[in-house]
Amino acid sequence: MSDFIKTRAAFHLPRGVTYLDGNSLGPMPVAARDRVARMMAAEWSEMLIGGWNRAGWYAQPRTVGDRVARLIGAGPGEVVMGDTLSIKVFQALSAALALRPDRRVILSDSGNFPSDLYVAQGLARAMGATLRVVAPEEVEAALDDSVAVMMLTEVDYRTGRLHDMAALTARAHAAGALAIWDLAHSAGAVDVDLTGADADFAVGCTYKYLNGGPGAPAFIWTHPRHADDAQPILQGWMGHAAPFAFDPEYRPAPGIERMRVGTPPVIAMTALEAALDVWEGVSLSDLRARSIELTQAFIAGVEAECPGLVLNSPRDPARRGSQVGFCHPQGFAVMQALIAAGVVGDFRAPDVLRFGFAPLYNDLEDVNRAVSILARILRDGSWDHDDYHRKAAVT
């Protein structure tokens, strides 16, 4: 059994705060600060340009990628880090479209994160493709023989709804389409199994449940069957077969390394390394069990003690990621009151209170505290002050 008391102790959690917003930004692993300071003093300062080899910076996107791979059911050598999630979506999508040249439809759903849709819109404009967006429950029916790529986010950022990755991927393949999965709200939250699901591409970020820090590097995975054929239109020198030959013609590196683009962000990657240390020894089945324990307890507690809140997430834990949403007509003000009282979740328009549960550091005490403070706020009506209404909506 994974030791979640130990993993909780690995994080800096501010005194008096119950943090249920790790699905937006994970807290800082205690070791990250010293790790970064050491990298700056011992590597950047002292090795200067030599750090690319001597300190392993050049290989970091792959060595760190191998550590992320275990958390998403991928093999070693199948994942590289870099850039941001939107950019990795762009690469995966352009590569997938090029692998299905006779088809021009990108199928996605309205539960996808908007940035993924924006990326698809921009790419579709350039490549003469069409983005078709349907409701999450209509994806399966929309998979016809015009669809080149099905691009979905596994866990809905608002509701926590968890798609059945294996079933939808099989359906996409049966229709002759490829499947791209965005794991933004999955990696580190649920027991992702890309290999088992036989997906084609996957992308994700590391600043949510993986706790890599604000703007931490993204990751991209290509199934080995495509890794030597996938050609993203966004190609840079670090993805060249021989980057230091300074060849005027691009020749993609074998395998996943071709998904590298420019110079990797070493300082950020170092913070992420410290964050990944906390994952050592954590099993994905324990992670999933713990996540379900926390979200079930929260739903039960809120429904028992907080009349007026309506569940906005699937009730069946098998269909839910590691977050829970509740609707309230004054959701924004309620969330501001909750944050002021030390329980940090977030708000998504028009009326959703969103709570993320990170098994690595959240526990049942967090759940109980959140429920009781939320109940008190609703009982008191203490959210109903101008003060909360004046605050900015951006978090």
- Answer yes or no whether residue 37 interacts with a copy of itself by CB under 8 A: yes
- Between residues 267 and 292, which has the closer beta carbon with respect to a copy of itself? 267
Query: What are the φ/ψ torsions at residue 249 (nearest 5 degrees)?
Result: -105, 135
> Residue 207 catalytic?
yes
- Between residues 1 and 392, which has the closer beta carbon with respect to a copy of itself? 392
Beta bridge partners of 323: 356
- Answer yes or no whether residue 389 interacts with a copy of itself by CB under 8 A: no
**And the tokens for 114?**
């908007």
Q: Which of 11, 207, 298, 357 is catalytic?
A: 207
- Between residues 262 and 307, which has the closer beta carbon with respect to a copy of itself? 262
Contact 375, 41 (CB under 8 A): no
Q: Which of 11, 19, 354, 357 is catalytic?
A: 354
Q: Interface residues for a copy of itself in 142-171 (CB under 8 A)?
A: none
- Answer yes or no whether residue 95 interacts with a copy of itself by CB under 8 A: no
**And the tokens for 187?**
């990696």
Residue partners of 105: CB distance under 8 A and separation at least 6: 129, 130, 131, 132, 146, 147, 148, 149
- Answer yes or no whether residue 110 interacts with a copy of itself by CB under 8 A: yes
| Whole-number Å distance between alpha carbons of 29 and 25 | 12
Residue partners of 76: CB distance under 8 A and separation at least 6: 66, 69
From 69, 85, 278, 341, residue interacting with a copy of itself (rule: CB under 8 A): 85
* Segment interacting with a copy of itself, rule: CB under 8 A, options 145-153, 216-224, 299-307, 369-377: 216-224
Contact 267, 35 (CB under 8 A): no
Determine whether the annotation assigns residue 115 to a binding site.
yes
**And the tokens for 123?**
């790419």
Beta bridge partners of 327: 310, 352
From 53, 130, 283, 285, residue interacting with a copy of itself (rule: CB under 8 A): 53
From 2, 4, 18, 21, residue interacting with a copy of itself (rule: CB under 8 A): 21
342: left (phi over 0), alpha (psi -120 to 50) or beta: left
Count CB neighbours of 88 within 10 A.
Answer: 30
| Whole-number Å distance between alpha carbons of 256 and 243 | 15
- Answer yes or no whether residue 51 interacts with a copy of itself by CB under 8 A: yes
Q: Which of 109, 156, 182, 200 is catalytic?
A: 182
From 175, 234, 297, 373, residue interacting with a copy of itself (rule: CB under 8 A): 234
> Residue 208 catalytic?
yes
Q: Interface residues for a copy of itself in 54-73 (CB under 8 A)?
A: 57-58
Give least dist CB 37 to a copy of itself, A.
5
- Between residues 188 and 265, which has the closer beta carbon with respect to a copy of itself? 265
Q: Which of 113, 219, 298, 326 is catalytic?
A: 113
Determine whether the annotation assigns residue 156 to a binding site.
no
Q: Interface residues for a copy of itself in 271-330 (CB under 8 A)?
A: 271
End-to-end CA distance of the chain: 35
- Answer yes or no whether residue 123 interacts with a copy of itself by CB under 8 A: yes
- Answer yes or no whether residue 221 interacts with a copy of itself by CB under 8 A: no
From 191, 198, 224, 237, residue interacting with a copy of itself (rule: CB under 8 A): 237
Buried b (16+ CB within 10 A) or exposed e, 330-339: bbbbbbbbbb
388-394: long-range contacts, CB 8 A cutoff, minimum separation 24: 388/332, 388/333, 388/336, 388/337, 388/340, 389/332, 389/333, 391/336, 393/332, 393/347, 393/349
- Answer yes or no whether residue 130 interacts with a copy of itself by CB under 8 A: no
> Residue 391 catalytic?
no
> Residue 251 catalytic?
no
**84, burial (CB in 10 Å: exposed 0-12, middle 13-18, buried 19+):** middle
Give least dist CB 326 to a copy of itself, A.
18
> Residue 229 catalytic?
no
From 248, 280, 316, 318, residue interacting with a copy of itself (rule: CB under 8 A): 248
Catalytically active residues, by annotation = 113, 182, 207-208, 354
Binding site residues for pyridoxal 5'-phosphate, as ranges? 85-86, 113-116, 153, 182, 185, 207, 237, 263
